[in-house]
Amino acid sequence: MKLDIIIPQYSEDDTIAKRLLDSINNQDNIDFNDINITIINDKSNVLLSSNLFLLYPRLNIKYLINEKNTGPGLARQYGIERTNGDYIMFIDCDDILFDKYALYVIMGCLSDAKPDLLITNIVKEAMINNEIKLLVKKKEETYPWLHGKVFKREFLNNNDIRFNPNLRHLEDSYFWTSVIGMINYDNLIYLDFNSYLWKYSENSITRKKGEYEYIITCFDDYFNCPFYAYGYLDKHNSEIKNMYIIRAIFDILLIIYSDIYTDKALISKKDSYISRIESFISDNKNIYSEFDSVKLSELYDVEVNKVKNKYNVKDISLSFKEFKKLFMK
């Protein structure tokens, strides 16, 4: 059984990449013949040196240069299409494995259970009161990130799960939605085990400005991603397709009518976004047929609380009465 570790690289230099490669090289009780590492430079001028790779004679490292700059999602896809291991694990170039036992536990589980999907805990470094703290994310708390997860290649191939070529941001959300929409939960294993350390980086948009600022920065992709994902789920008749798109549309609307939606360029697109949502709802009335006013109100309250907590939203001007009109015309 072979595991492909796929690593997109753009601005990370030898120093940053060495930190990750050290964490792989230091793994205990591992047959490194079963591990292949593929690093994809996403058409960047920051090239990793051959001297760096010479430091790791027991690691099977392949360094590829993407044909054009595509963003991390398609860089990962580029790696997927040029590897052939039984399992695939994604690691960002500026992150590391949590400790020296991470791959031992992962490989043992893959060998014994042969799951379609393995989920482990991720540990996230966060700056709190000017001090880096470690936050452990478990189960659903790790969604939709690809960190700490391992995918069976056969499962991905059989269900045509790929990164969407139209998304430069939110690429992990699309990929993860495709996975969770097609997975048989009998073939999913969750290990309450910390395998992945998501390092704090001041250069990260989501760390530097906050997650809500990241969403605002790439709002076109935030808007389009659920519709692309719904298209995939609908094509493959996934059981989660209707509830997924309902919740996603709720969240988009709540953001559009919130106090964080203040960017002038986005404000100019507000009517266009709403019109596209109204057209989708009008064309897909069957999706909402099970929602009477009571159910809609309950889901509205749930999504309002979620959006407020996740994106630090303090005010949403869209009342439930106005919100209901969109879905019950």
| Mean pLDDT across the chain | 93
Q: Which residues pair with 7 in a beta bridge?
A: 39
How does DSSP classify residue 292? Answer: -
User: CA torsion sign, 134 to 140 to 145 to 148?
Assistant: positive
Q: Which of 57-61, 166-170, 282-286 has the lowest mean pLDDT?
A: 282-286
pLDDT score, position 204: 55
Residue 276 makes CB contacts below 8 A (sequence gap 6+) with: 223
Structure tokens at 232: 């995939």
Evaluate if residue 205 carries a pLDDT over 60. Answer: no
Distance, CA of 17 to CA of 39 (rounded, Å)? 10
pLDDT score, position 203: 62
**Residue 133 backbone dihedrals phi, psi, to 5 degrees:** -115, 155
Evaluate if residue 29 carries a pLDDT over 70. Answer: yes
123 compared with 201, residue with greater pLDDT: 123
pLDDT score, position 231: 97
Q: Judge contact between 27 and 58, C-beta under 8 A.
A: no
312: nearest Cα among 252, 247, 260: 260
Q: Helices (H) and strands (E) in the chain — how many of each? A: 13, 9
What 3-state class would DSSP assign to 24? helix
Q: What is the dihedral of CA 26, 102, 149, 78, to 10 degrees?
A: 10
Q: Judge contact between 168 and 220, C-beta under 8 A.
A: no
Distance, CA of 14 to CA of 65 (rounded, Å)? 16
Sorted by where each begins, the domain ranges of the chain are 3-203, 211-327
Average pLDDT over residues 185-210: 81
Distance, CA of 87 to CA of 1 (rounded, Å)? 8
Helix (H) or strand (E) holding 25: helix 14-25
pLDDT score, position 290: 73
Q: Which of 155-164, 225-234, 266-275, 317-326 has the lowest mean pLDDT?
A: 317-326
Evaluate if residue 291 carries a pLDDT over 90. Answer: no
pLDDT score, position 285: 83
How does DSSP classify residue 287? Answer: G
Evaluate if residue 24 carries a pLDDT over 80. Answer: yes
**CA distances from residue 138 to 65, 148, 196, 210, 221 in whole angstroms, order as listed:** 34, 10, 11, 21, 26
Residue 174 makes CB contacts below 8 A (sequence gap 6+) with: 73, 163, 164, 167, 225, 228, 229, 232
Instruction: Tell me: cis bond preceding 144? Omega within 30 of 0 counts.
Output: yes
Is pTM beyond 0.85? Reply is yes
Q: Which CATH architecture has domain 3-203?
A: Alpha-Beta Complex (3.90)
Left, alpha or beta for 262 (phi > 0: left; psi -120 to 50: alpha)? alpha
Distance, CA of 295 to CA of 240 (rounded, Å)? 17
Distance, CA of 187 to CA of 193 (rounded, Å)? 18
